[in-house]
Structure 1
Amino acid sequence: MDGGDERGYLLDNQQAEAGARFDALAALFDPSTFRHIDALGIAEGWRCWEVGAGGASVPAWLAGRVGPSGHVLATDIDVTWTAAGTGYRILRHDVGAEPPPGDGFDLVHARLVLVHVPQRAAALTAMVAALRPGGWLLLEEADPALQPLVSPDESGPEQRLANRLKHGFRTLMAGRGVDLSYGRTLPRLLRAAGLTDVGADAYFPITGGACAALEAATVRQIRDRLVAAGLATDGEIDEHLDNVTAGRLDLATSPMISAWGRKPLDGR
Structure 2
Amino acid sequence: MSRHGDAVPPSGTEGYLLDNRQSEAGERFTALSELFDPSTFRHFERLGVGPGWRCWEVGAGGTGVTRWLAGRVGAHGRVLATDIDISWAGEAAPPVELRRHDVAADAPPAERFDLVHARLVLVHVRDRETALRNMIGTLERGGVLLLEDADPALQPLVSPDEHGPAQRLANRLRQGFRTLLAERGADLSYGRTLPRLLREAGLEQVAADAWFPLALPACRTLEAATVRQVRGRLVAAGLATDAEIDEHLANVARGDMDLATGPMISAWGRRP
TM category (shorter chain) comes to over 0.9
Matched, 1:96 2:104: yes
* Sequence identity (%): 68
Alignment match, 1:25: 32
Task: Tell me if the contact between 1:207 and 1:252 (Cα under 8 Å) persists in the aligned partners.
Answer: yes
Which residue of 1 is the match for residue 4 of structure 2? Answer: none
1:40 is the counterpart of 2:41: no
Partner in structure 1 of residue 22 of structure 2: 15
Q: Distance in 1 between matches of 2:217 and 2:205?
A: 36
Q: Match of 1:154?
A: 162
* Structure 2 counterpart SS, 1:254: coil
SS of 1:116's partner is coil
> Which one of 223, 234, 238 corresponds to residue 246 of structure 2?
238
1:42-66 per-residue CA deviation (whole Å, 9 max, x = no partner) reads 1100000000001111011000000
Matched letter for residue 6 of structure 1:
T
Q: Write the distance in 2 (CA, Å) between the matches of 1:125 and 1:27.
A: 30
Q: Which residue is 1:64 aligned to? A: 71
The alpha-carbon deviation at position 9 of structure 1 amounts to 1.7
Find 1:193's aligned residue among 186, 198, 201: 201
**Cα shift at 1:4:** 10
Secondary structure, in 3 states, of the residue corresponding to 1:115? coil
Deviation at 1:81, TM superposition (A): 1.7
Q: Which runs of 5+ in 1 are unaligned?
A: none
Q: Distance in 2 between matches of 1:4 and 1:99?
A: 22
1:78 is aligned, of 85, 100, 107, to 85
Give CA deviations for 1:19-60 in whole Å, capped at 9, x if unaligned: 100010000000000000110011100000000001111011
Corresponding position of 1:217: 225
Q: What is the identity, as a one-letter code, of the residue corresponding to 1:49?
A: W
Taking the aligned partners of 1:72 and 1:128, their CA distance within structure 2 comes to 17
The CA deviation at 1:99 is 1.3
Q: 1:220-242: per-residue Cα shift (whole Å, max 9, x none)?
A: 00000000111000000000000
Q: How large is the Cα RMSD of the aligned pairs?
A: 1.3
Deviation for aligned residue 1:155: 1.0
The partner residue of 1:138 within 121, 126, 146 is 146
Query: In the aligned structure 2, how far is the partner of 1:217 from the partner of 1:123?
Result: 28
State the match for 1:228 in structure 2.
236
- How far apart, in 2, do the equivalents of 1:146 and 1:211 lie? 17
Out of 53, 60, 64, the residue aligned to residue 60 of structure 2 is 53
Supply the distance in 1 between the matched residues of 2:107 and 2:57 (Cα, whole angstroms). 15
Give 1:95's aligned amino acid: V
Where 2:123 maps in the other structure, the secondary structure is: helix
- The runs of 4+ residues in structure 1 deviating greater than 2 Å are 3-8, 82-87
Give the deviation of 1:102 after TM superposition. Answer: 2.9
**What is the TM-score normalised by the length of structure 2?**
0.94
**How many angstroms apart in 2 are the aligned matches of 1:238 and 1:81?**
28
Aligned partners of 2:82 and 2:146: how far apart in 1?
15
Letter in 2 for 1:228: A
Task: Say if 1:175 and 1:5 are closer, same or farther in 2 by CA, change over 3 A.
Answer: farther
Question: Separation in 2 of the partners of 1:132 and 1:151?
Answer: 42
Q: Deviations along 1:189-208, whole A, 9 cap, x unmatched?
A: 10111100000001011112
CA drift at 1:83: 3.4
Instruction: For 2:125 and 2:91, locate their aligned partners in 1 and report how far apart those are by CA, in whole Å.
Output: 24
